[in-house]
Amino acid sequence: MLLSPQLLLSGVSLLATVTTASRLPHAADMSSSQNPQLAAREPRSQPQQSDQGPTVPTPIICTETNNTESNSTTKTWAQVLSRFPPGSLSATTALPVPGLTVDFRLKVDLNPKIGLGEGPWGLRNWVSFKGGEWSASWGGGAVEAGGQDAQLLIETKATYVDTRYLLITEDETPAHIMVQTTGWRTGPPDVLERLLDPVEGDKVPASDYRFRLFIRLETGDPRYYWVNEGMWLGSGIRRGSEVIYDGYRVL
């Protein structure tokens, strides 16, 4: 679809997709037509369903209504597109805007960190996992003990996380799903300093800093093979010896 630059810029708005639910939904809430692998899995709890079959959670599409923010977005797009030749395909093509939908919550129990000292890239810590639990729109279960985070603390007090661990599903014959996360815990220096304190760190609200993750899932189990092609972003918090984060699927 080709649009004039003016029409493209005036029609641009940020879209964010969130799922309306007061709980984390189970596999029974999803349509097996959307995810054929779910049809082979018996949900952990099977609610009563109508003759029409399971219902699909309805997302809300949130568009910008604030004129100032909308104008700022339009100006940003004007700057982005300004380097392309006017009237060219690259300057006039409207592309789909990715959305996000909440997909799972995960809690990991941590062992005390082991400090490796100051290396060539910063202060390296080794944090192993004792276990944990997870609940998703497509299942749930436990976190296998033995995972780890090769954590890196740099001069700004920001922390880079690089984790590998396994999820175990609660199926009668469990599946194993590998989780890989990379990301940063960033924020104002004074807030990051407090987060490093064993006592003060637990008092810092999650909204005072950013703990964001790229999440990849991998398995060879045919029941969950679709996760290999998924993309997720995470938002988390650390409290004492626990890390909790939500995974949002990129649509």
Condensed to tens digits (0 to 9), the pLDDT of residues 197-222 reads 888 999 999 999 999 999 999 999 99
pTM for the whole structure: 0.72
- With a cut of 60, say whether residue 32 has pLDDT above it: no
Domain boundaries, the chain: 5-92, 100-250
- With a cut of 70, say whether residue 185 has pLDDT above it: yes
Architecture of the 100-250 domain:
Beta Barrel (2.40)
Buried b (16+ CB within 10 A) or exposed e, 135-173: bbbbbbbebbeebbbebbbeeebbbbbebebbbbbebee
Q: Look up residue 202 and give its DSSP letter.
A: G
